[in-house]
A and B are shown apart, each in its own frame.
Chain A
């Protein structure tokens, strides 16, 4: 039997897709559903099953969240603090550097690379390097404080300073990415707008507020969402810098998932935590889509 061209094309298409379809079904879709399923069970890792307990894990999380000193309560509030501290810091610093970088020609490549370097290095190595910088007494930062005649700090061992100290490292590590995306956005603003503004007698400050910032709005929203999600998922820096301490003051939701799931093997509870994390990320993504689908007024 001779196949028509159209039939042959359909067969080829499915042949090309076969391995990947299998992958997405088995490695992505099924585990997503399984995560919901596990979150509703008292799951035993060694049996690969467990009794159905309904919403009990979620109720447990809610009850733990209401206990004043629980690590779960700390994890959710800390994660919010990381976002509120880290995202604005990241956006303001990255935009400032991008605006400066956008003005120069000589050494532009050198500076771009310098700001970008930490982004390609392992978070674990970065965590240890900063542990050493933050070290009490002998650390570089404390030596600098001493030289300037300022009081030394405990940084990661100080319950009030530990979280901001980690947020600084997270910003330092990924600022290069935000700078690159901002630069791409800046270069898409036609020079003609600035030339016109100049003729109208606008100064730099006015041009920044009236032209640059409004036209960068989609980029800012995009980066804010991306970085909010990154901070919601903060884990490797925290595990390797403070392991959540002191007094749970730096722990995050994902660190609790790791501890509950893979130290206590409390998998149902951990899965329920990841479902909540998923809900939060989904909410933020939907908000982004709504904001971005609004037209930008020129």
Chain B
């Protein structure tokens, strides 16, 4: 699991693939035991889902209905959405979160695979020391870096104006986890294929871009999914570096919105729904790929 050999990449892909298909030994016969299994799983699933259902139901209720305990809204209304959207910058925060998640994910996909590829396929002095140097950064928690990053950003002016976008995104444009993952996956690309392209006079970047990269698409997809979700939900660093309202990401905006809304729960749940429902829909549409991707990156540690 956390220990990994160079031949582990293909096996890990197979494990992740098996994970999203039904287990071979699983039974489909209906016995009392199976009935109990389904019953227990259903109780658990209800506990998992209730907070989200309650959040959406609350957001559809007028304030007066909150104190009278009824599960479903009697007079469902979208008034809360109109009020919250017109009085806040949710649209802008969506845009910011999307922009930051897309930029960092594109950058990570490119640089992590380029470095992973180089560390796997090239022979050059200093290779081991560079690889170890990159891996050791995994030991350092983000919390330890935020104070130095903040100091660097203030000196450079990255906490002012549009430079805040760069301020938010710069710590995550290349990741050690991604490099580690990609380095292993390039094992599956045969060297003969790359040598053949060299004979044909393709330059080294062309070999990487047009021949090696298309062969590791599943790993890149996993890396992108993992990274997109992480950046979309990132909180601590954007909270520290974004100093003006127009540059908040969705989680940061939501937490300030809460501070201004005190205990109007129908409004707060509307804000929470706005922040989560799009991601919930994306997740339900792509759940197989997302779970596969998380398993793949999770298995790497």
Contact = CB atoms under 8 A, between A and B. Distances in A.
Contacts of A130: 51
Nearest to B292: A180
A122 B240 contact: no
A132 B141 contact: no
Interface stretch (B75-83, B119-127, B183-191, B214-222): B119-127
A114 B48 contact: yes
Nearest to B179: A20
Nearest to A33: B148
B181 interface: no
B200 to A, nearest CB: 15
B7 interface: no
Interface string A98-138: 00111111111101111111111111111011111101001
A16 B114 contact: yes
B2 A129 contact: no
A113 B41 contact: no
B275 interface: yes
Interface stretch (A66-74, A80-88, A148-156, A254-262): A254-262
Interface in B143-181: 143-152, 154-155, 170-171, 173-174, 176, 179
A281 B139 contact: yes
Contacts of B19: 180, 183-184, 187
B242 interface: no
B269 A48 contact: no
A52 B65 CA distance: 60
A165 interface: no
B96 interface: no
Most buried by A among B40, B51, B299: B51
B154 A45 contact: yes
Interface in B86-136: 111, 114-115, 117-118, 122-125, 127, 130, 133-134
A22 to B, nearest CB: 10
Interface residues of B, number: 104
A49 to B, nearest CB: 9
A122 B275 contact: yes
Interface residues of A, number: 106
A157 interface: no
B2 A34 contact: no
A173 B150 CA distance: 29
Interface string B243-257: 000000011101100
Interface in B36-70: 37-38, 40-41, 44-45, 47-52, 54-55, 58, 66-67, 69
Contacts of B114: 16, 20
Contacts of A212: none
Contacts of A274: 141, 143-144, 146-147
Contacts of A245: none
Given A35-B144, A117-B52, A275-B144, A124 B235 contact: yes
A219 interface: yes
Interface of B: 1-3, 15-16, 18-20, 22-28, 34, 37-38, 40-41, 44-45, 47-52, 54-55, 58, 66-67, 69, 111, 114-115, 117-118, 122-125, 127, 130, 133-134, 137, 139-141, 143-152, 154-155, 170-171, 173-174, 176, 179, 204-205, 208, 229, 232-233, 235-236, 240, 250-252, 254-255, 258, 265, 268-269, 271-272, 275-276, 279-280, 283-284, 287-288, 290-291, 294-295, 298-299, 301
Interface of A: 6, 8-10, 12-14, 16-17, 19-21, 23-24, 27-32, 34-35, 38, 43, 45-46, 48, 97, 100-109, 111-126, 128-133, 135, 138, 140, 143, 172, 175-177, 180-181, 183-188, 191, 194, 218-219, 222, 226, 229, 233, 235-236, 239-240, 254, 257-258, 261-262, 267, 270-271, 274-275, 277-278, 281-282, 285, 288, 292-293
22 contacts: A13-B118, A17-B118, A20-B114, A31-B152, A32-B145, A38-B147, A105-B23, A105-B28, A111-B41, A112-B20, A116-B290, A120-B233, A123-B235, A123-B251, A128-B258, A129-B52, A132-B58, A184-B295, A219-B1, A236-B235, A274-B146, A281-B139
For the complex of A and B, the 4 pairs showing the least CB-CB separation, nearest first, are A31-B148, A34-B148, A13-B122, A274-B144
